[in-house]
Structure formats: structure tokens, C-alpha cells
A and B are shown apart, each in its own frame.
Chain A
């Protein structure tokens, strides 16, 4: 019933990739943050109404619906609010498992972003862990969050969860 078979054998599998080609435009606020990465620093914005600091900023406060125009340079130090131990291998994985992906709350910021944790055994990571950003060498800095190699422990005592509960 199969068509004439060749030395290669009958076809049983078909590759059907689905590909979406986007062109992403960062906009004014995110471009500020991206430029910050190229300079080796975190740049956020403060809401003029609620005073919350967003990093990276989208250019407006989602709570007050006003433009965030005040630029805030944030330090390299941060607190791990929540984290995940990645144990599952997947296609394109570039880091040896197990590793930690964490929600990073920079000191002075009011929102978290995702970051890689290194320099500590996965079983030793806890909520409230104090970390600092390790940047790539100066000549490799670029307008991308990949300019931050990872976050590593500072050695300070963990923060009590109650002190950052509003950011969970």
C-alpha cells in the first residue's frame, strides 16, 4: 500500500516548524533600561503619584495610569523574593542543571524581574537571600539583560519575608 519504497525507506515523519518573525521596538522607557545595561547599571523610573519604582519601566504606572518620567539609577544589590530550582533539561538549555531562576528585587525597586542565581548550592537558596549582580566584562556590555551574567550571594543575612511580602 505504501508507494514505491526506496533505499531510504518510506517517509514516516514530517518537520513542520511554526515560525513567527517579530520586530520588537522597546519604546522610550524600556530603551532607557536597555541603555543602562549597556552602561552596566540598572535604570528604572518612579511614579510621580504612588512613588513606586519600576525596573525595567514600561513608561507608565499601571496603578495610577500616569507617565513615569523620573529616572532612578538602582544599585547592584537585591533580594531574592521567590525562586525556582530548574531540574528539567530542555532544547537550547545553556546552563548546567540544576540551577536557580529567581525573582530579583533590586534595593529601592518595587517590582521584580527574573534573574539567574549562581555561586550557591540550590539547596541553600531561601526566600530573602541577599544577592548582587555580576556584569559581563565592560567590552561585552550591550543593550540587553544578558549584560548581567548572574546574581551571586553577598554573604549578608537573609531578609525576613515580612519585609518584602508586598513584593511577592
Chain B
């Protein structure tokens, strides 16, 4: 017989399995990630936007021309995560950072793996670390993280 005073608890997962079409520009970005590269797009006045968009966010003009950027870049701003949650991209402490890739005029949000927070400084150079080719599927997660350059 069940315990007459037990209060039941249970995990309850609500999941919506959305799939969305990428369009030509994000599609090109994700295809490049799968190939182990990062690309941006040329916006108005030759400005390079990363990740690429179909329209220039300042002028609303159509962007044109995919260009290679990175794999190196510079940390613009960052936030240190001391205690990663269960669904964090890394299970050790890391930084979320806006990274301006070489050849880009905008910064992209991604993960910086670093041993301690004091080495993550605005202006620090980092470089992309991809997952092995066999594991890449055409997703932002194909780019595992950025690591400090030369470390």
C-alpha cells in the first residue's frame, strides 16, 4: 500500500519541436559553420555584419555578398558565468562575450572558454574552436567556443 501521506512530485517537460527554414543568408552562415568557417555579409557602405542578416539593420537596405571573417577576433564585452546551469554550452565556468571577428564591423555573441575570469578582458584576442567535422551539422553549436589566442 502506498504511503498515505506522500506528496507526489514529477518532472514535467513541455517541448515544442520547431524547425524553421533558414533563408539564403542564415543558411550560408550555418553552411559555413558546418564547413568550419565563419562568414558575414556586406551591408551598406561595405560594412561587414556578423552573423549575417538579409537587411542592413541601420539602413534597411538589402545586404549583398558573403565574406569570410575570423577565425580570430577581439572580446568587446563579456559576462562571466561562475556556475554553469545544466543547459549551459560548457560545464566548466566560462564567459558569454560579444566578439568582433577579424574582418567584421559588428560583434557576435558566443562562448569564451577560459581557465579563470581574470584573463577575460575587453580587447583580449580569441580564436574559434570548432567541433570535429564529423560532429558538425550546420548549427551555431558547430562552433564549440572561442579560446584565448596563443594559449
Q: Which residues of A contact B (CB under 8 A)?
A: 1-6, 8, 10-28, 30-31, 34-35, 38-39, 91, 143
Select one of B7, B9, B13, B28 contacting A3, CB under 8 A. Answer: B28
* Binding stretch for chain A, among B29-37, B89-97, B98-106, B107-115: B29-37
**Secondary structure of the B contact surface, majority rule:** mixed
A residues near B13, Cβ cutoff 8 Å: 19-22
Q: Are B31 and A2 in contact (CB under 8 A)?
A: yes
Chain B: minimal CB distance from A66 (Å): 21
Q: Are B9 and A25 in contact (CB under 8 A)?
A: yes
Q: Are B26 and A14 in contact (CB under 8 A)?
A: yes
Interface check B11, CB cutoff 8 A: yes
29 A-B pairs within 8 Å (CB atoms) are namely A1-B24, A1-B65, A3-B35, A3-B39, A6-B34, A6-B35, A11-B31, A12-B21, A13-B22, A14-B21, A14-B138, A17-B18, A18-B16, A19-B13, A20-B14, A21-B13, A22-B12, A23-B11, A24-B12, A25-B7, A25-B9, A26-B8, A26-B10, A27-B7, A31-B6, A35-B6, A35-B8, A38-B2, A39-B1
Q: Are B19 and A28 in contact (CB under 8 A)?
A: no
Chain A: minimal CB distance from B145 (Å): 20
What is the CA–CA distance of A15 and B29 in the complex, to the nearest angstrom?
Answer: 15
Q: Are A13 and B20 in contact (CB under 8 A)?
A: yes
